[in-house]
Amino acid sequence: MAEDGSVIKIVFTPSGRQGHVPAGTTVLQAARTLGVDIDSVCGGRALCGRCQVDVGTGEFAKHGISSGPGSLCGVTAVETRYADKKGLAEGRRLSCQSTLLADVVIDVPPESQVHNQLVRKAADDRQIEMDPIIRLCLVEVREPDMHEPSGDLRRLVEALQTQWPDRVTGEIDCDLHILQQLQPVLRAGKWQVTVALRDGNRIVGIWPGLKERVAGIAIDVGSTTMSAHLCDMVTGDVLASTGAMNPQIRFGEDLMSRVSYGIMNPGGHVEMTEAVIDGLQKLITGAAEQAGMDADDVVEIVLVGNPVMHHLLLGIDPVELGGAPFALAVDTAVEMRASEIGLQVNRGARVYVLPCIAGHVGADAAGVVLAEAPQKGEVNTLVVDVGTNAEIVVGNSKRMLAASSPTGPAFEGAQISSGQRAAPGAIERIRINPETLEPRFRVIGVERWSDEDGFDEAVKSTGITGICGSGIIEVLAEMYLAEILTADGVVNGAKAAISPRIEADGRTFAYRVSDNVVVTQNDVRAIQLAKAALHAGFRLLMDKMALKSVDRVVLAGAFGTHIDPKYAMVLGMIPDCALENVRAAGNSAGTGARMALLNKGARREIEAVVRDIEKIETAVEASFQDQFVKAMAIPHQSEPYEKLSQAVDLPVRELTPDEAPAIESGRRRGGRRRSR
């Protein structure tokens, strides 16, 4: 053991950093000297409790240290006071108060680390490293002195520079509203104030005394729904998660109808901007309330959304996005004060909007890229988000390409005779018996399948009202697997001999699912056109990268959440890929937004990635049309879909001389294409 007054060896875990410091140094000072990551808001005043550590106990032979509680000074009165007031776990010490007496091993728990890795709550284990753009700093400011006249701001800045040298990154400036409240706040806090320092050089918030908690909010503004995560900007914890319908829906269900509303009605885009901002405000206020906070505590906002939402929430008329060449007003990240777009939160709050990738590949896709990080892997990843326009990103760490493809609204249930939005009463799952051609299905809002006891009773309250996007994809894929539908997408009238559900419909045939839900030949055509556009889009990008297949498919957005990847693949909406490597990313765009909220480096990262993504305009690509025609077939005219055929019994296809070689080779390599 070292003697008092001597030099002490200190080892920090888990970082492994170690060194020697004079006895009597506080653990926090030692950490700073050795570059160890320990958090603090109060600057070592025993107020915030962010600096807690554990003392290693026992013989640490590796380091030649015998460590224990006696290696530090006894628990101080200040620590006891803190423990009485706010609680301190058994054995925990405040590193700012405990001084070193002897060689010691100090463990810094994750919650005390500035760059704490937060495990995402969603299904995977992606981590967000805390490095927020906003840092809270408690400072003691010199009182004014007649003999040394200086403004309050000068003394506040001086206090920040001397008391938080590692947080200040440049010349400090402040907002006007800070100046307006500076003097009363300094005096109310008796010259002790907490400052919200943004990016190390701008004061955006100030409170008397210690302010321990401020919030940031990450919001994914979808055309139908908006979802938000309110996060503690000090710890990164999610304090509240909320969602709401996008109030713009009254101007049109899909994006293009909203763009049209703007074109047809002078000032229409202003109305839509007001509606979405009003919706955002309610969402933010609600999330803050849920967390027991005030909207005034929200100091940072990150937004993602498709290009039309992006433009509308910034008050930009999206008219140019309504037609070629689909020019974005801005293709870089945008930052502004929240008040500039009419959001009432903390007066110093800024809004950061992720960059849009291209005319129809939005900031939501950028959020997905940030969260799914295809740019970080060697494997080839396809990210696809299907809405009125499909947003498609293909790539790996070496090269990334993006495009959009005009799929139209068929996947969302529009243009489909029995189609409807995903709402109670809509058929969302369906299976067809290949022998009898009888369907069984599930309806949103009812737990049972239609052939289970109690279904009729359970469905009474909503009725069967139509079929939603995921239901349409399943019914078509099942019709194909049951050979009601040919590979060319023709409803096979010959099957009427097997089941009365195949009905004549003029010169074509239709398949009746229930009394009021029928799949017509026109419905099939609408989906074929949409899926062919989608397939041609990703095939174009894959061809440019000379890829025959991809290793991983990420289905983003609502489409990805509800769709069964197997059926999407049967229809050729995604390329052939091992089914276990197809992932619904759920709210990946929102996760990307949260990453940008909690880690300022993530902002620079996505800005750089988006800058480097090659944007492909499908409309001007000569091969698009050719690809489109080939992609009309189910799953595709010439792609063998070998991996899919190992998982699903695909019907035997009659081959044209053109496609025979490819398909035959697919069969030889393990496909089980045979008649069901």
The residue ranges that bind ligand FES (CB under 6 A) are: 40, 42, 44, 46-51, 94, 96
Indicate the residue among 96 and 597 with the shorter CB distance to ligand FES. Answer: 96
Indicate the residue among 29 and 522 with the shorter CB distance to ligand FES. Answer: 29
Report in angstroms how near the CB of residue 52 gets to ligand FES at its nearest: 8
| Residue carrying the six token digits 């495990």 | 119
The pairing of strands 390-395 and 381-386 is: antiparallel
Report in angstroms how near the CB of residue 115 gets to ligand FES at its nearest: 16
Indicate the residue among 209 and 425 with the shorter CB distance to ligand FES. Answer: 209
Report in angstroms how near the CB of residue 203 gets to ligand FES at its nearest: 20
Report in angstroms how near the CB of residue 42 gets to ligand FES at its nearest: 4
- Amino acid residing at 217: I
Report in angstroms how near the CB of residue 86 gets to ligand FES at its nearest: 9
* Nearest partner of 199 among 591, 594, 607, 599, judged by Cα: 599
What are 178's two structure tokens? 């800070």
DSSP state of 378: S
Indicate the residue among 42 and 459 with the shorter CB distance to ligand FES. Answer: 42
Indicate the residue among 33 and 433 with the shorter CB distance to ligand FES. Answer: 33
Report in angstroms how near the CB of residue 29 gets to ligand FES at its nearest: 11
Question: Are 21 and 33 within 8 A, CB to CB?
Answer: yes
- Other Cβ atoms within 10 Å of 381 Cβ, number: 23
* Nearest partner of 501 among 573, 428, 423, 430, judged by Cα: 430
Task: List the alpha helices (DSSP H) in 414-571.
Answer: 455-458, 469-481, 521-544, 557-562, 565-570
- CA distances to 8, 92, 101, 105, 435 from 5, in Å: 9, 25, 8, 19, 89
- CA distances to 194, 358, 500 from 396, in Å: 44, 18, 50
d(CA 285, CA 338): 14
Question: What spatial distance separates the first Cα and last Cα of the chain, rounded to whole Å?
Answer: 79
The residues with which 552 forms a beta bridge, in sequence order, are 381
* Nearest partner of 599 among 199, 196, 131, judged by Cα: 131
Report in angstroms how near the CB of residue 99 gets to ligand FES at its nearest: 13
d(CA 118, CA 239): 13
Indicate the residue among 194 and 306 with the shorter CB distance to ligand FES. Answer: 194
Report in angstroms how near the CB of residue 104 gets to ligand FES at its nearest: 17
Indicate the residue among 15 and 549 with the shorter CB distance to ligand FES. Answer: 15
Indicate the residue among 42 and 141 with the shorter CB distance to ligand FES. Answer: 42
Residues 6+ apart with CB under 8 A from 323: none
Indicate the residue among 26 and 246 with the shorter CB distance to ligand FES. Answer: 26
- Amino acid residing at 435: E
Indicate the residue among 44 and 216 with the shorter CB distance to ligand FES. Answer: 44
Report in angstroms how near the CB of residue 39 gets to ligand FES at its nearest: 8
H/E element, 364: helix 363-372
Sheet holding 502-505, edge to edge: 502-505, 508-514, 517-519
The residues with which 206 forms a beta bridge, in sequence order, are 195
DSSP state of 267: T
Indicate the residue among 82 and 624 with the shorter CB distance to ligand FES. Answer: 82
Indicate the residue among 112 and 418 with the shorter CB distance to ligand FES. Answer: 112
Question: Are 170 and 161 within 8 A, CB to CB?
Answer: no
- Amino acid residing at 107: D
Report in angstroms how near the CB of residue 24 gets to ligand FES at its nearest: 17
Report in angstroms how near the CB of residue 194 gets to ligand FES at its nearest: 11
Interhelix angle 600-612/588-598, nearest 10 degrees: 120
Report in angstroms how near the CB of residue 97 gets to ligand FES at its nearest: 7
Q: Which residue of the chain is nearest ligand FES when measured via CB?
A: 96
Report in angstroms how near the CB of residue 604 gets to ligand FES at its nearest: 28
d(CA 533, CA 523): 16
Give the SS3 label for residue 672.
coil
Indicate the residue among 168 and 597 with the shorter CB distance to ligand FES. Answer: 168
